Structures are given as structure tokens and as C-alpha cells.
A and B are shown apart, each in its own frame.
Chain A
Amino acid sequence: KAGVTQTPRYLIKTRGQQVTLSCSPISGHRSVSWYQQTPGQGLQFLFEYFSETQRNKGNFPGRFSGRQFSNSRSEMNVSTLELGDSALYLCASRPLGSRVSTDTQYFGPGTRLTVL
């Protein structure tokens, strides 16, 4: 089975621009979560999608948004980029993604975003 894939792997943008990141989960996984990782803040939860619905959202401004398609692929978008948005953005997928199922979350390699 192919793992979680993320595109692009690296991205350089300037302040004020917007960016879209893509994530393809493991086949059969319906839950996709997005995280932001920075040296100072660690792994921060952005949002989680299941069957095209956002089930949970972290404490990030509205500039951060996402969506999930019927094939479970997901995208996240950041508008009006700020310097502080420079980070590694990680996508992870799970079969069902609930505490009841306690299924394992598998991560993609990440997208390194640099905002200049």
C-alpha cells in the first residue's frame, strides 16, 4: 500500500500571497488531519476531516482553511501569508480517526513552507 503523499515538498512564497498544499491519504483511510510544526511550538493541530466534513479544528486564524474531496484527498489553504507561517506542514491519515477506534495515524513527509 502506498503511504501518505504530500505535494509539493518544498515551497517558497512571499508575504501576502496564498498557498495550497495537497495530501493524498493511504487508500481506505477516511480521516485526514493537518498539523503545523515549528521549532518553537512543536506539533500544532490545524484541523481534521472525515468524509468531506471538518470534524475538529485547532486554534488557528481563519486564514487557514481546508477541504476534503470524495476520494479522501485533502487540501489546505493559507491566505495572506505571514512570516510566522513558515513551518513544516504535515498531513496524516487514519482509517476512522476517532478515540473509539484508536486506529493508528500515519504521516506524510511534509511540505516545507518558507515565507519571505
Chain B
Amino acid sequence: SQELEQSPQSLIVQEGKNLTINCTSSKTLYGLYWYKQKYGEGLIFLMMLQKGGEEKSHEKITAKLDEKKQQSSLHITASQPSHAGIYLCGADSLDSNYQLIWGAGTKLIIKP
């Protein structure tokens, strides 16, 4: 069955620094979604990528889907305390028409 692996599991970054989170799929990605979650709250949609090579940006967050469509990266430029949280990637499952599969999440801590 299809799996999503996120790396790193956790990240501590000095405020102002750049960082990258990766999401790798065991199968070709059909639709890839990035979400952010504050502890104990719901997931906030960031962006969706579908086409190989596609790149989208939202404020200081940029996500890209590689050409082979098996990996996505999320890049944050000049990190701020508001970027702290858990980042999750999700993808339309190739094993089921009506289900998203999820990575385990990356916990991001921003040091002031």
C-alpha cells in the first residue's frame, strides 16, 4: 500500500533561518496537500500540488512537487515564531479513490 514518509520528524530552527521539510511517497503522487497544525487544533490547509514540477507559494512558504511526482518539499524562508507547529503532507491514495493518506508530520520549533 502507498505510504508517505516525512523528514525530518522534528526541527529546531533559529528565528530568521530557512528550512526545508520533505515528503516522499512510495508511489506516484496524484494530488499532494500540505497542512499546518497547531497543537491540539485542526489542520490548516496551506497548498495543493498536482503537476510534476509545480511550485506554489503562500507568504514565506513555498512547496514544490518534483518532476517524477514522488516527492514534495516545503521550504520556509526567514522563519518566524508564527511558523511553529506541525506540518503534515497528505496525498490522494492510489489504493483507494476516496481516501487521503498522511505523513507522520514534522514538528517545527522556532527559537527566538
The answer to whether A and B interact is yes
Interfacial residues, chain A to chain B (CB-CB below 8 A) = 4, 31, 33, 42-43, 45, 48, 50, 55-56, 88, 90, 92, 97-100, 102, 104-110, 112
Is residue B59 contacting chain A, with contact meaning CB distance below 8 A? no
Residue of A50, A105, A110 touching B41 (CB-CB under 8 A)? A110
Chain A interface SS verdict (over half): strand
Q: B residues within 8 Å of A by Cβ?
A: 30-31, 33, 35, 40-45, 48, 50, 88, 90, 92-94, 96-102, 104-105
Tally of A-B Cβ pairs under 8 angstroms: 64
When C-beta atoms are compared, the residue in chain B nearest to A96 turns out to be: B98
A99 to B104, CA, bound (A): 21
Say which residue of B30, B43, B93 sits within 8 Å of A107 (CB atoms).
B43
* B93→A99 contact, CB < 8 A: yes
Tell me, in angstroms, the Cα distance from A16 to B100 when the chains sit together. 31
In the complex, the 10 A-B pairs of residues with the closest C-beta atoms, listed nearest first: A102-B31, A107-B42, A99-B92, A107-B43, A109-B42, A55-B98, A43-B102, A56-B98, A42-B104, A56-B99
- Nearest chain B CB to A39's CB is how many angstroms away? 10
